[in-house]
Structures are given as C-alpha cells and as structure tokens.
Amino acid sequence: MPFGHGARSSAAPEGSGLPPGPGPAPRALPCDPFVADPVAGNRRRHPYPVPVTPTLFANAIFHTLNPAQPHPEALLVADGFVLAAGPAAELRAHAPAGTSTVDLGNAVVIPGMTDAHIHTASLARSMHEVDLRGAGSLAEALAGVGAVLPRYRVGEWILGGWWDFNKWQVPVQPDRTSLDAVCPRNPVALTSTDGHTVWANSQALQLLGITRETPHPAGGEIVRDAAGEATGILRESAVYPVRKLAASGVSGNLPEQLREAQRYLLSLGITGVHDIDGADALAAYRILREEEGLALRVHKLLAQDDLEGSIAAGIRTGQGDSWIRHGAVKIFADGAAGSHTCHMSQPFPGGTGHGVEVTTYPELLALAGQAAEAGIAVAVHAIGDRANTLVLDALAAIRDTTALNALRHRIEHVQFLQPADVPRLAELGVVASMQPQHCPSDMPILGMVEGRGLASYAWRTLLDAGATVAFGSDSPVEVPNPFHGLHAAITRTTATGEPDGGWEPQERISLAEALHAYCVAPAFAAGEEALKGTLAPGMLADFAVLDTDIFTTDPAGIRDTKVRMTVTGGAVRYRRDA
C-alpha cells in the first residue's frame, strides 16, 4: 500500500511560525526540524505558493536514495511532500481526485542536491566582479583588471579577484606597484581564489587606513618590503576589512544578485545550500522570501562576529523551518593550502612556516564551549593536519555539552588529517564537510605534502571509519556544479583526467557514496534527515530531473550531465527549456 507512511503535512507547520496546531508546544530542541524561528518571524504558510493539487511525476528513472524503494516508477507529490512512491498505475489508482500528471519524458530523477559549503552572497557578487581565474601570469592578471576598468567610475572600488599565483607561469606574489600602474585612479582590492589573501593597490591601502605604522592584526599579516612599506599583500585576518567592504553594499543590490545566483544553482540541480556567508546573505534571503521568490532551502551558518549577538537574541542551531534555518557558527582555525597558510605539523617546503593559527587553541576552546552551551553548533574551518588535530581536541573537550544540547559539529574542508585523527573524528560524530573539486584544483601543491603519511582529501578512509562526509563546492572558489564534484570524488582527477588513475586513487569513492554526500549527508549535518535527502514518502518533494543516468554513464558523462528541471517543495522552480 503506497500510502503507508506519507502524510507528514499534518505534523509540519510549514513556514507557519506557529506551534504545530493544538497539543504540546514544540520541543525546544536544537535540530528539531519543526521548531519555528521566533527571530525570523516566518509568518507565511509557504514562502511562495506550492501547488495545492497533488501531482504524479511519472515516466522517469528514479534514484530515490531510499533503500526501501530505490527505483520506483513514479512519485506522488502533495503539499510539498512526497506522498507515495511506487508503480505509476497503482499511484494513479489511489491518487486524490484532481491529481495532475507530469510526464518526465524518460528522464532521470535524483533527490535535490544540497551544497553543504557555499558562499552564495560572494557567488552572487562574483557574477558581476573582476574574475582572474583564467589568468596564467601576472601580466594576464593585470590585463584582466585593465579590461574591467571602463565599467567603473573614477574612485569607485574595484573588487573581486580569484587570482591564484600558483597557476602563474612565474608563481610570484604580486604587489601594489604593478596594480597602481594599471589602475591609478580607483581603489582595487583583489581577493585570491582561496579567499585568504588580498592584493591591493596603493589607493586601496590608503582607504583601508594601512600605513607604515599599522601593526599586524591578530591572526593576520600586512606584508612589508625591506623598507617597511606595505607591499599590497594582506593575509588572513588582515583581509577581513576587505570582506566587510565587499559585504557593505559597495558591490550592488544583494537580493537582486542572489535571485540570479539562485537561478544558476537551481539549473545545476541544487535545491539547498548551507550558506557560509554573513548576516547580509541571511537578510537578503529573507527579502527573497518576503517577495515569494525564495526557491532554495537555506541552512544559514553564523559568522563568528555574530556569535555573541546571536546568543543574546536566543538563536540556536536548528531554529527555523525547512526553507530558512539557523546553522552552526563558523570559526576559522587556520588558513588555506593555496596560500600556504593552513596550519601543518610540518611546514610547507620553501620556508613559509607551519601556516597560520587564525584562532589559537585556547580561543577555539572558549568559543566552541560558549557556542555549544548556548545550543549553537560549531563549524570550524580546518585544512592543515595540525589545525584538524586541535579542532578535534577542542570538540573532545566539550563533548558533554555537545551531547546535552544534541549538537552536530562540523569541520569545514578537513583536507589533511593525521591518520590517528580519522577514527577520532568519526567517534566524536563530527561531520566532515568537504569539497571534492578542491582535490584536482590543489594538484599544483599536493606534491609538497606527499610522503608525509597524511590522510589527504581522505573520503574513502573517512567513510570506512564511519564518519559522515558532506560535500559542497566552496563556490565561488570552485564552480558550484555538483556534477563536477561527483566526477572529482569518483576519479580524483582534473576534468581532463590528470593524473592518470587519479591522485591517491585509494581515496576514490563510488558514485552512490558521492551522491549520498550531496543529498543525505548535508541533511544529516543540518539535523534535517527526517525531511530532506531522499525521495521517500514523507520527505520534502525536492528533486532534480537529469538528461543522463549518472549511474550508468562514464565519469565524463557524469561531469557533463545537464539538468532539465528542478523541483523544490513539489513546485517546478527551474526548467531548462524555459
């Protein structure tokens, strides 16, 4: 009987902002998917209309990721949820009067994917800013800046960046003088592709108030030349003022830009994001929701700067509803691999030291403890093996508070691990939030860490240890295309297949495991596994309709997969031919 376990709708006050009908008040537990958010003031029943008439989605190959019904013939959707899955004729026979049918034309359906680590505000802005990703030299980077100049008025900030000196013919750190020569009449501050370094010109340094006398900020560096003058390179916490500037509105109307980014993400089969950007993104998403234009599910992490205020406002991880929900607080333990600022137990070759401990261990412990006590999970950015060890030490130290508040902490990136830390991470129940595309992208520096016995981008090892691995893109650092991520996860090669057989191929995982990391694991990380991640009866009707069966094609075919249609809450939000 296909209707055995559907009908969640009576239990879920979708977006009502009210307790779920008569009876006891909602449990005020973090991660409870049905606790409405008193702060968000989610007054609408739905962020925008969900089809009231039930719909039968038929004539497709369904991969539901539901082990009980992995490949049903059809899905019956009502009120935003999957009501039943099974043989089309049987569903049709039992469907409520007025059920409409959508013929999917022999396409392939997978659950909607969630990007578990994405900076959607930055992505949205980047679609309008300087993009030096294609530059293969300093000269090409400078030419790229010169090319956008006509779009700006004199004195207007020029932001963006995405430069990566590791990919330049002569990999040198650039300086302000070269930028001054191209761009003397505008302040320019260009963030490196990993987001941890800024390359600024003289006018930008002046406006940022950086002089000879400015001390290094805690956890950051203002690089200086032999004469003591700032070179224009700012590292780690020294880039924060530029991030603030970029978030201040000098770069345009964020809700408008997010609308465009949302359409782009839907076109890639993404139905949910774990957004890592700041409160500006949350405010913009709420505007989209008010305008009935929100079509992506947003799990919103908090910036560290907002922790105190959030605690004071009574915000806890898990509050919200299935559209906008509060997540963990993001804390930076270290820097990045590309900038050689990740915190390693052995230094990178070339004398750049052990990396940067952006948050010291005592601070990390204090912050994690403060957050956990207030019912807020932590998401700690840790790339180097030493950083990961310290984060796990801190999470082990607060495990009682964590258990008491039923929190799911996460580590973002988890790129290099000491082998002994792998079982520790699994045993602590920490979610490994990882980005498969970083593996091929970091190829130029991976040789530097080979032979150290580290578990690097260790998806196989982590899964075998029983850890939850959730995948994302870190977009705009990488293109937010999850099919590129699936390809990287199963091959560990670049798009063109290098290196042959994959880098450390023993860490490859299967397509089913990789898709799980884009669907089920992000839902678990967000405490939403009863709502999202599979297409079982009772789950939200969020899915992507593909032109390719990713389970039968080769890796190149997976990478090139196109999305025909994306459905969130039972409503078609994107159509390729539209």
Residue ranges that bind Zn ion, judged by CB under 5 A: 276, 474
Indicate the DSSP class of residue 447.
Answer: G
* CB 563, min distance to Zn ion, A: 24
Q: Judged by CB, which is closer to Zn ion: 14, or 236?
A: 236
* CB 474, min distance to Zn ion, A: 4
For residues 62 and 70, give the distance between their C-alpha atoms in angstroms, rounded to a whole number.
8
For residues 319 and 100, give the distance between their C-alpha atoms in angstroms, rounded to a whole number.
34
* CB 335, min distance to Zn ion, A: 12
DSSP string, 132-168: -TT--SHHHHHHHHHHHGGGS-TT--B-EEEE-GGGS
* CB 440, min distance to Zn ion, A: 17
Q: Judged by CB, which is closer to Zn ion: 203, or 237?
A: 237
Q: Judged by CB, which is closer to Zn ion: 104, or 273?
A: 273
DSSP string, 332-389: E-B--TTTT-S--SSPPTTT-TT--BSS-HHHHHHHHHHHHHTT--EEEEE-SHHHHH
3-state secondary structure 194-263: CCCEEEECHHHHHHCCCCCCCCCCCCEEEEECCCCCEEEEEEEHHHHHHHHHHCCCCCCCHHHHHHHHHH
Q: Judged by CB, which is closer to Zn ion: 118, or 544?
A: 118
Q: Judged by CB, which is closer to Zn ion: 79, or 277?
A: 277
Helices (H) and strands (E) counted in the chain, each on its own, are 19, 23
Nearest CA to 179 out of 230, 237, 123 is that of 230
* CB 122, min distance to Zn ion, A: 9
Q: Judged by CB, which is closer to Zn ion: 8, or 381?
A: 381
Tokens of residue 195, six digits: 């987001």
Are 566 and 271 spatial neighbours (Cβ–Cβ below 8 Å)?
yes
* CB 539, min distance to Zn ion, A: 28
Q: Can you name the residues that pair with 199 across neighbouring β-strands?
A: 190, 233
Q: Judged by CB, which is closer to Zn ion: 119, or 289?
A: 119
* CB 125, min distance to Zn ion, A: 14
Are 10 and 16 spatial neighbours (Cβ–Cβ below 8 Å)?
no
Are 118 and 549 spatial neighbours (Cβ–Cβ below 8 Å)?
no
Tokens of residue 10, six digits: 């009576």
Q: Can you name the residues that pair with 110 across neighbouring β-strands?
A: 544
Q: Judged by CB, which is closer to Zn ion: 36, or 358?
A: 358
Q: Judged by CB, which is closer to Zn ion: 79, or 474?
A: 474
Coil/strand/helix, residue 527: coil
Indicate the DSSP class of residue 578.
Answer: -
Tokens of residue 267, six digits: 């076109």
Q: Judged by CB, which is closer to Zn ion: 303, or 374?
A: 303
Position of tokens 């196989």?
460
* CB 221, min distance to Zn ion, A: 20
* CB 171, min distance to Zn ion, A: 23
Torsion, Cα 158 160 166 172, to 10 degrees, reads 10
Select the residue whose beta carbon is closest to Zn ion and give its number: 474
Q: Judged by CB, which is closer to Zn ion: 37, or 129?
A: 129
Tokens of residue 251, six digits: 């770069």
- At 266, the amino acid letter reads L
Q: Judged by CB, which is closer to Zn ion: 175, or 275?
A: 275
* CB 523, min distance to Zn ion, A: 20
* CB 192, min distance to Zn ion, A: 13
- Residue count (the chain): 578
Q: Judged by CB, which is closer to Zn ion: 204, or 477?
A: 477
Peptide bond into 476 cis (omega under 30): yes
Are 475 and 119 spatial neighbours (Cβ–Cβ below 8 Å)?
yes
Q: Judged by CB, which is closer to Zn ion: 385, or 474?
A: 474
DSSP string, 306-320: GHHHHHHTT--TT-B
Coil/strand/helix, residue 22: coil
Torsion, Cα 133 275 381 312, to 10 degrees, reads 140
* CB 472, min distance to Zn ion, A: 8
* CB 464, min distance to Zn ion, A: 26
- At 2, the amino acid letter reads P
